[in-house]
Structure 1
Amino acid sequence: MQLKTILRYTFFFICFIVCRQVTQAQNQPVGKYQIKGIIADSLDKKPVEFVTVNLLDVSTTKSAGATYTNDKGFFELGLNKKGDYKLELILVGYHPKTISVTIDDQAPVINIPLIVLTSNVQQLADVVVVGTRQLVEQKSGMLVYHAERDVTNLGGTAADVLRKTPVLKVDADGNVSMRGSSNLKILINGKYSGQMARSPADALNMIPADMIKSVEVITSPSSRYDAEGAAGVINIITKKGTDSLNGALEIVASNWEQAFNPRLAFSKGKWNVNFFAHAHRLQQKRETNLLRSSFTDNGEPYQLQQQAFMNNVMPHGMSEISVDYQADSSTLISLSATGWLGNWPSDRRQNNTTLQSGAVVQQFEQQTITNNAANQGYFLSLGYSKKFRRVGQELFVIALYEDNLKDDFDYDTWHRNTEGVILYREQNNNHMRSKESTLQIDYTHPISKDGKNQLEIGAKAILRDVSSDYTTLASADNQPSVLVPVSSRTNVFDYGQDIFAGYVQTKFNLPNKWFLQVGVRLEETLIEGRFKTQFQPFKNNFRNFVPSATLTKTLNEANSFNLRYTQRISRPSIIDLNPNIDARDSRNLESGNPDLRPEASHQVELSHTLSTEAGFFFNTSLYGKQTNNSIENIIQVNSEGVSLSTKQNLASNHQYGVNLSTSFSLTKGIVLESNARLGYMDFKSQALNIERKGWGGGINVNTTFKLRNNYTLQAFGDYDSQAVTLQGHETDWFYYSFALKKEWPKSKITAGLSTVNPFSNTMSRSRVIVASGFTSDNVTRYYNRAVKLTLVWKFGGQGKQVNRKSASNDDLKSSSER
């Protein structure tokens, strides 16, 4: 029997075991004795659901069982031992309540007709209570940035929000990294989209900042998460409304972009519908200057000088509709559909000058490159979650399907001399389509009567199929205007990747405020690649055993320590594997590598969190990470001065560092938030004879001033120091912005005026490479001075978050460049 078949049977066997456990749990006997009751609000006498009902045995002071109320406020507990008990009733927003009951043979069933809970919200005459809500919060296993509480995110995109998020770094191109590595997974409501695998920067531009509720930064993911994502996981939570009708209309206009973002939420009875859309016209303008020195075969110095100018307009948009059906207080069915389309061209004009010894010009040419990068697709999600009678017992099932209908990347490049005569022309048309199906089952089972200690098990299957049909046409000999097919660069690449996974994880709340979480995940990956011509088909099957552990000590309400260990892997994407050569720039080629293997990393992290009721937050995190067989972008230059960039497994790296995050009020109305990072990178490659190490870091400061008459002023600055890379380094970078916001609460209208880099027309950053046989310095100037006006009109209620779960296909190493 084939391994793939065995794994599929194993996956369905795990699913059967989970369903069998759930069935047994639903049909378990309620016990010889029973306690029943109804809980209501003390003021309006309406039923209160999700009240935790904990039954304590007075003789042992231990829990004898636990449950929670349904949507009618009803609860029922069964037990097999008579005696004296206490009912503990707990729900956030209400004062706790304790009720004594006695069970004996004369009263085997205790029926409490009505129990009222009193709200702990006090109304005091002539007293104004001002609460401070933290922008950053430490939760179990993650840092949470509450973007909706940051009033200065108005008019931006998800990239602007992530720029302010702890631990993260966003570069000038919008690419996100964590602790020096871009190998991380970005999820939207726990779900991973192929848009993120294609280009995270482009995908983040499709999400308006006003749609984002919070950002979860998971530096050491547990076994419940996919093993992919060596640097960590980012989960962007979007807003969902549940009022009868609410929504917003946002209009953004600036010298570089224009956007329209409508949002609508509607609720009636058990149904909840959410819709949002995003239409965005983005313009990017930049210049690059490359100076590369190398040597010819006979040892003569050779130099390439390039000046390129790019000014592209990238129209794109997306929309999503989600429907939730709350069958009862414990059952939620969710359906969502997302569609997107856009074009991300990278047209450029470029001058290429080659010089040899004595600075003698050997060749000069003008190059024009036009590019079409059309992309469109859709994503479907169907989820089912069920809470059972026992506290902490839950089942979650989700099915996902994604179809990237079109992911084209076509270019046409013309080479001319100073007189405009055509020297060479080339066309490359790459039409790619990908399909992905996912089925995931998670089950949580309480292993203590109060539900605080839990066992989690789950299974997951991801089936991917990708096809890349690429054709290259180039100038015929002595006829530069005539294009003929290039058979060596024309092919059809079909790629399949199936992943079957299962995990087991336990959570223990130990005495003296200790918490322990231990888990292990097993993933089997089946990869198969086929080419129509030239290349041989390949298969690559591998198994990963991924452990994780977390130990937490809570000193008091304000202080806690966390020690975490996790192992992570990174699988290459099809873009990194596809051998199609991108020769838009004939002097700087890019190609995928079909022989690329996954990388593995081990990480240990120790953190301390101080969080006070006054709103002061301070998080310190020390970490160390070792990555073996790491996937690195390697640039090599041949004797003709042409470079080839490919991803290869030719290095390892060690990282050590510290992250600091804080948020607090300086005075009334002034809030300061800051994130700092300092890390040491140590790259080694025996194959390339490279060892490079050095320190790098950065700091950002976000200061908010709340003024009179509903005005808010904000100043933000982000500095990144020089960063070490395997073959060189990147120079430092500084980004800053100012914003002013005005609110009209009665009409629910908000206006914002912001500016980026107001004191200079451009910002620059250099990428320096010092490698065997060549050196290069590539300077990019970004035209990013901007003035932006944003208008938002909100209608209806404020909305509340629907508590839904979702799957997270965070298992592919994304490629930030094409």
Structure 2
Amino acid sequence: MTKKIISFCVLILCLNLALAQNNDQKMVTIKGKILEKDTNAPLEYATVVFKNTTNPADLSGGITDASGNYSIEIKSGTYNVSFEYIGFKTEVLPNKSITDNQTFKTQYLSIDAEALDEIEIIAEKTTVEIRLDKKIYNVGKDLTVRGGTVSDVLDNVPSVSVDVEGNVALRGNDNVRILINGKPSGLVGLNSTDALRQLPAESIEKVEVITSPSARYESEGTAGILNIILKRSKLEGLNGAITTNVGYNPSAGINGNINYRTGDINIFNTTGYSYREAPGNSFTSTQYKSTGNFLDETNTFDRIRKGLTTNFGVEWYVNDSASLTTSVLYRDSDDENSTTNLLEQFDTNRNLLSTTVRLDPEFEEDKTIQYALNFQKNYSDSGHVLTFDFQYEDSSENENSLVQVDNVISERVATLEDQQQILLQTDYVLPIGENSQFEAGYRGNFNTTSTDFQVELLDSDTNQFELSTDLTNLLNFKEYLNAVYTQYGTKINKFSFLLGLRLENTQLTIDQPTTGDYNKRNFTGLFPTVNLNYEFSDRENLTLGYARRLRRPRGFFLNPFPSRSSVTNYFQGNPSLNPSYSGQFDLGYLKRFGKFTFNSSLYYAHATDVFNFVSFDTGDTAIVNGESLPIIQRTPINLATEDRYGFEFTLTYNPSRNWRVNGNFNFFQNDTKGTTPNGLSLDNTNNSWFARINNKYTLPGEIDWQTNLNYRGPSEDAQTKSEGIFTTTMAFSKDLFGDSASIAFNVNDLFNSRKRQQNTTTPTFDAYSEYQWRERSFNLAFTYRFNQKKKRVERGSYGGDDDFEG
């Protein structure tokens, strides 16, 4: 069945390419640029409309890219040409005769002061925008994430999947780099999975999915980059929005986005507080082949998360060509995580031999403060820009737990983690002529992390806790990254290219004062990028991208000190772990026809020294109720090679103003080859797929109804087979008080089916496991906007060129 699906999709791609060549109608291409009159700044998404004077129903048009440029293919004829942009006065060229390719002179638009007093676009763009090098998911119209978190947002993004533990993957690859406003950020924190579950969705404007990054972006992330863009308004005066929400499993929160601009100063702030309870559960049944006995492990998770996030900034327009922005971000969260661990031992006939109950209440405090400074200088030529960025971040994460075994407190565990990070970055962009651009830049990222893990065991003789030197460890980890890059792009008729080269040096230091271990690693690499594009028309494009990427081992992966999840299971890092390098190709096709937008990709990546986690019997045992049980270790190793390839398409259908459908399908296969240190072969072929359908319809009474269907197909590696997962989310929304307010209700995981089920087979044991991080939840959200007028505008309806940012 899978082969038939792939064959059908590839056939559609080929047919569309063939049809693109058979257009006998005479067409001409019109090019030009639109700038703001007062500042000469380019106007991205400005609209150019061609209305035929003899047939007014014959409309054509397009939009500008980030540099204000447009290139639009139309039929020859006589047109009234209008240049439009929200909040600006429309300019018209009447009775313009167009018989051949032309380049219009630069068009300048002036701000319409009266219009600005009346309107603002409140993230009401199409839910998914498809560009040549990226997909852009706009959060504003997604009802299912209101009152939710960034993790909920990412789970609705095309090409992206979030598993039951909150781990983010892009096209099935979990090595994805997450950036905030194009840079590493304290908003992601020390633990990105937990941080994304705490950040409010209302603070996010959009998410960019970049599968073939240019040399401007860091090379980390073999899957690609997810760039999360935060909300920030630039309207004159005071304006903003406040959202409150309440839900079950018990949750509540309030989030506000406020902006004030007067003269040369723009002040912005986003602040949110949330309270969430997230009950979950897991079950694992392990049979040991040496004895035939069973060990069943049942976990019940009760989690309470409380968090405050605020981002305050001031933007100063020094003059018409320069601006200085400074901001402070602060995040403070307190978590209470209680785990009940039930161990039951059975003989080969499933007769109960022993029972042990382990309670692990954990209290966690996370704090992050980040200072940021940005300077931007715009020169006289449009697109000629110099930027400088500085960031300093200080984060801490403290965890404390009391472990009880059979109602007796036996351990006190504390994990104290501190991180300091400095970012220095500068970028220079120089346009060359009308269609070419040169760019160069530098990035330095200096990260220092200290992890102090302390375990105190109860001495039964003295009834006092004593520090266990065997289980206590201090890790000091440093990662210093320096990178320079350059790239050049140009457009020749319908063909354009962007060529880049990035040089990165990474220095790692792993220092363990407890054990005396000290390791230094140094990696230097060149990372070329190639992005090619051919335009059949303004509605149809073919792209080809190549990028060399890498995955660096993190401190947790390198730390050789054992980290226990139970008395019979632990994780141990590998200090000999090397970076994994990959070469990636991406062939994309984009076609807009009628009310449909079709975007597809064929992709392939070849990686060396790939990370893989393996489980094996250590040969050691633990005594549980007088019984000797094997201890299982899980550790990362470098596999020899991995070949990953797949096919993906996104289809958008907008049959009417009241109905919109988005569909996304991705099939991928991994071929891995390698062996464990003890000679166990891990050669394996794994194929899987996921599909997503998002349907939004406006019911009578202007009630918006949205349903998201997600299916993550089964997968298999050398040791573990995972079952498929199907989830459904449903939401309703209604605007109130003349569109000044909205109320939304959503149900996450409608059928409570988001559970991971796995079977693991090794030479020494077999295991079956289930895991559900969060059970079904309900949420009610209310949003009030002040000094804003909601206006529905479909931007990007004609498509158009992207800039050279890759």
TM-score scaled to structure 2, two decimals? Answer: 0.80
Shift of 1:319: 0.7
1:786 aligns with 2:802: no
Q: Is the 8 A contact 2:740 2:789 kept in 1?
A: no
Residue aligning to 1:734: 726
CA distance in 1, matches of 2:547, 2:108: 46
In the other structure, the counterpart of 1:28 is: none
After superposition, the C-alpha distances for 1:355-409 in whole angstroms (9 at most, x for unaligned) are 34454545421111111222111111101111112333211110111001x2123
Look up the equivalent residue of 2:412 and give its one-letter code. Answer: Q
2:264–2:317: 8 Å Cα contact kept in structure 1?
Answer: yes
SS in 1 for 2:233: coil
Q: Indicate yes or no: 2:213 matched with 1:221.
A: yes
Pairwise mapping of residues 258-657 of structure 1 onto structure 2 (< 5 A)? 258-295=252-289, 299-359=290-350, 361-404=352-395, 406-416=396-406, 422=408, 425-446=410-431, 448-450=432-434, 452-476=435-459, 479=461, 481-511=463-493, 513-612=494-593, 615-639=595-619, 640=621, 641-657=630-646
The CA distance in 2 between the partners of 1:561 and 1:367, in whole Å, is 58
For 1:398 and 1:48, locate their aligned partners in 2 and report how far apart those are by CA, in whole Å.
23
Identical positions, percent:
22
In structure 1, what is the Cα distance between the partners aligned to 2:436 and 2:228? 28
How far, CA to CA, are the matches of 1:595 and 1:343 in structure 2? 35
- The amino acid across from 1:474 in the alignment is L
Instruction: Measure, in 1, the Cα distance between the counterparts of 2:84 and 2:741.
Output: 35
1:680 matched to 2:669? The reply is: yes
- The amino acid of 1:276's aligned partner reads T
**1:382–1:629: structure 2 CA closer, same or farther, 3 Å change rule?**
same
Structure-2 residue corresponding to 1:178:
170
Does residue 1:665 correspond to 2:654, yes or no? yes
Q: What amino acid is aligned across from residue 248 of structure 2 in structure 1?
A: N
- Residues 206-235 of structure 1: per-residue CA shift (max 9 Å, x gap): 332232222110011111111101111001
| Deviation for aligned residue 1:727 | 2.5
Label 1:516 to 1:492 Cα distance change in 2 as closer, same or farther (>3 A).
same
Q: Count the aligned residue pairs.
A: 686
Q: Is the 8 A contact 1:465 1:496 kept in 2?
A: yes
Query: RMSD in angstroms over aligned alpha carbons?
Result: 3.0
Matches of 1:482 and 1:50 in 2, distance apart? 70
Name the amino acid aligned to 2:562: I
Distance in 2 separating the partners of 1:779 and 1:427: 28
| 1:693 alignment counterpart | 685
Cα deviation for residue 170 of structure 1 reads 1.5
Q: Rg larger in 1 or in 2?
A: 1
| 8 Å CA contact retained: 1:345, 1:372 | yes
Relative to structure 1, the CA distance from residue 342 to residue 140 in structure 2 (aligned partners, 3 Å threshold; closer, same or farther) is same
Contact 2:712 2:725 in 1 (8 A): yes
Gaps of 5+ in 2: 1-33, 44-80, 95-105, 116-123, 622-629, 792-806
Q: Tell me what 2:245 maps to.
A: 252
Which whole-Å deviations, capped at 9, do the CAs of 1:99-127 have from their partners, x for residues lacking one? xxxxxxxxxxxxxxx9986999xx9xxxx
Q: Distance in 1 between the 2:193 and 2:724 partners?
A: 20
After the TM superposition, which of the residue ranges 132-141 and 435-444 deviates more from structure 2?
132-141
Q: Does the 8 A contact of 1:369 with 1:584 survive in 2? A: no
Structure-2 change in CA distance of 1:599 and 1:40 (3 Å): closer
For 2:108 and 2:196, the matched residues in 1 are separated by: 47
Cα distance between partner residues in 1 of 2:262 and 2:138: 28
Which residue does the alignment assign to 1:770?
761
Contact 1:657 1:678 in 2 (8 A): yes
Distance 1:346 1:572, change over 3 A: farther
Shift of 1:672: 0.6
Q: Where does structure 1 lack aligned partners over 5 or more consecutive residues?
A: 1-38, 53-87, 99-113, 124-131, 801-818
Distance 1:724 1:574 in 2: 27
Tell me the TM-score normalised to structure 1 length: 0.79
Q: What letter is aligned with 1:622?
A: L
In 1, distance between residues paired with 2:445 and 2:633?
Answer: 33
SS in 2 for 1:347: strand
Moved more, 348-357 or 308-317: 348-357
Aligned counterpart in structure 2 of residue 203 of structure 1, from 195, 203, 208: 195
Q: Which moved more, 1:347-356 or 1:693-702?
A: 347-356
Distance 1:117 1:755, change over 3 A: closer
Letter in 2 for 1:253: V
Q: CA deviation at 1:747?
A: 6.2
Which whole-Å CA distance do the structure 1 matches of 2:475 and 2:224 have between them?
30
Report the more deviating stretch, 165-174 or 745-754.
745-754
Using the TM superposition, give the Cα deviation of residue 178 of structure 1 relative to its aligned residue in structure 2, in angstroms: 0.8
